[in-house]
Amino acid sequence: MPTRRGARSLTLSECVKLETRQKTVDAFCLERIAKDIMAPSLTRLNQAVMLCRNGLLYEGGVEGELRKDLIEQDLLESVISLPSGLFQQTSIPVSLIVLNKNKEHKGYVRFVDVSECFVEGSSKQRRLDLAKVETLLSSVGALAKSVGLKEVEKEEFNFSPALYLSPEIELNEDESLVSLGELVELLKPSKEETDQASLIRISELSNDVFNAVTDFSNLPKKEFKRGRQFLLAEPALIMATKGEKLKPTYFDSSREAVSVSSELFVARIDEN
């Protein structure tokens, strides 16, 4: 990582330790790298690659402003989703952000998902299957795609590859796919302000396919982090954006407002 005079690169271990203290280390590093890329003193290639937690790809606040700047300056060349379990220090899923001042395809960003390109190693630690990764990086299909900057802007500068990559689904002649946005109205964050609220994560959603009602009243209150969490104060259906199941769960607005983590999406319910 390029550094300024008097500064040094953070090791992955140091980043993990700071991450557990809820510091946005990756946001700081990304901002610093982007500024250095625009500086004439960088290497002749004018490139940089950063390993980051996936939250940096979609969270609001400072992270959202950084992503917007990268798109407006056309610095982002590609985003690559990696498998979880690659590092001994942490099992969280991570991604690579590739910045390039002189990228070949101006006006486009390449999104690639290599999250399944791994082999199991010793001590349950995974290793990248480099042959599969190399194939995906040079291909076009369900797991690799170049997207125009206008489309990224339309998605509010979300860098999550899964948002732009469609899985291969076999359909019969009389079947067709419909986006979730065509079926339900997705809610935008409430403008209400609060210091603390009960936080709903994927683990709190209902696992019962026959009963979508869950009691959230006993959840402890935690500090509300605007940009990373969604304040919900009206009837809604909450669903997971990760994992194999949507886990649809009903939220009753008769209770006080709750905070919803960024790994969930929320749809409006008409109770009339």
Joined tokens for residue 146: 């170049």
Residue 124: the pLDDT is 67
Residue 147: the pLDDT is 93
Phi first, then psi: give them for residue 91, nearest 5 degrees. Answer: -105, 5
CB–CB of 189/231 below 8 Å? yes
Cα-Cα-Cα-Cα torsion 114, 95, 79, 142, nearest 10 degrees, comes to 30
What Cα–Cα distance (Å) separates residue 174 from each residue in 155, 170, 171, 177? 30, 12, 8, 11
Integer Cα distance of 266 and 270 in angstroms? 13
Residue 151: the pLDDT is 92
Residue 71: the pLDDT is 93
Residue 14: the pLDDT is 44
Residue 18: the pLDDT is 41
- Contacts of residue 95, defined as CB under 8 A and 6 or more positions apart, other chains included, come to 51, 52, 53, 54, 56, 57, 79, 80, 81, 82, 159, 161
Residue 111: the pLDDT is 93
CB–CB of 1/31 below 8 Å? no
Which residues, in sequence order, are bridge partners of residue 144? 112, 141
Per-run averaged pLDDT (10 residues), the chain, 272 residues: 40 42 54 62 67 82 84 92 80 84 91 86 75 84 88 89 76 75 71 76 77 79 70 82 75 74 77 58
Grouping H, G, I as helix, E, B as strand and the rest as coil, residue 254 is coil
Integer Cα distance of 118 and 126 in angstroms? 6
In order, the DSSP letters of 136-203 are: HHT--BTTEEEEEHHHHHHTTT---HHHHPPPP----TT-----HHHHS-BPPPP----SEEEEE-GG
Integer Cα distance of 253 and 236 in angstroms? 8
Integer Cα distance of 246 and 235 in angstroms? 18
Residue 31: the pLDDT is 66
Integer Cα distance of 89 and 104 in angstroms? 35
